[in-house]
Amino acid sequence: MAEPVTLLAFGDSLTQGYGLAQNEGFVPRLQRWLTDHGADVKVINGGVSGDTTAGGAARIAWSLTPEVDAVLVALGGNDLLRGIEPAESKANLDAILTEIESRGLPALLVGMEATGNFGDSYKTAFDALYPALAGAHGISLYPQFLQALVDLGDRQEVLRDYLQADATHPNPEGVALIVEAMGPAVLDLVEQAEP
């Protein structure tokens, strides 16, 4: 019998499942979604709350243990909160993707979109770095972690029904929508992997 594919979900508090019961976070929900859609996969939670792209770059090498077959990379939200220079975030993400590539592993990059807090030029530079990196590394790009909530189009509804009280992290209903929307892209990634 073939071994299951081991998928590392490498990210920050959004990946880690901040503020949620263990079975309601992104990774367990994604695991269930993938299994329900016929994937023989084991998803490892490589989310660290508060992690920046620099933190991710510092830990990627030892996170890629021998059993890892594919990697979902979802970092950048904390860089945004701190106003870290987009060029720095890009360099860190590039280092992460280069390390994954050096191991011959397929990856999916999950983007982030800046708010206007740091001005238009910051937003333009930050928003552009994910498509640029996905293109440079020849990997798939999922627009942004919270895409399913953005697509609802009603910020008040999202705040009321799909986010925790901190207005940043999704609640269980929000996670369910996020996984449903991102699932097909992750399934594609799993299908590229060789256990």
pLDDT in tens, 25-82: 999 999 999 999 999 999 999 999 999 999 999 999 999 999 999 999 999 999 999 9
The H or E element spanning position 182 is helix 172-192
Active-site annotation, residues:
13, 166, 169
Distance CA 18, CA 194 (A): 30
Q: Which fold has domain 5-192?
A: Rossmann fold (3.40.50)
Asked if 131 and 111 count as a contact pair (C-beta separation under 8 A), the reply is yes
- CA-to-CA distance for 49 and 84, rounded, in angstroms? 17
Residue 22 DSSP label:
G
Nearest to 31 by CA among 72, 61, 73: 72
This prediction's pTM: 0.96
Q: Which of 14, 104, 31, 108 is nearest to 64 (CA)?
A: 104
Q: Which amino acid is at 56?
A: G
The span from the first CA to the last CA of the chain, in angstroms, equals 11
Q: Quick one: what percent of the chain has pLDDT higher than 90? A: 94
pLDDT band at 117 (very low <50, low <70, confident <90, very high): confident
Which region, left, alpha or beta, applies to residue 122 given φ > 0 means left and ψ of -120 to 50 means alpha?
Answer: alpha
φ, ψ of residue 119 in degrees (nearest 5): 95, 165
Residues in the chain: 195
- H runs (alpha helix) in 19-83: 26-36, 53-63, 77-82
**Residue 53 and residue 58: Cα distance in Å, rounded?**
9
> Is residue 1 scored above 70 in pLDDT?
no
Mean predicted lDDT score pLDDT of the chain: 96
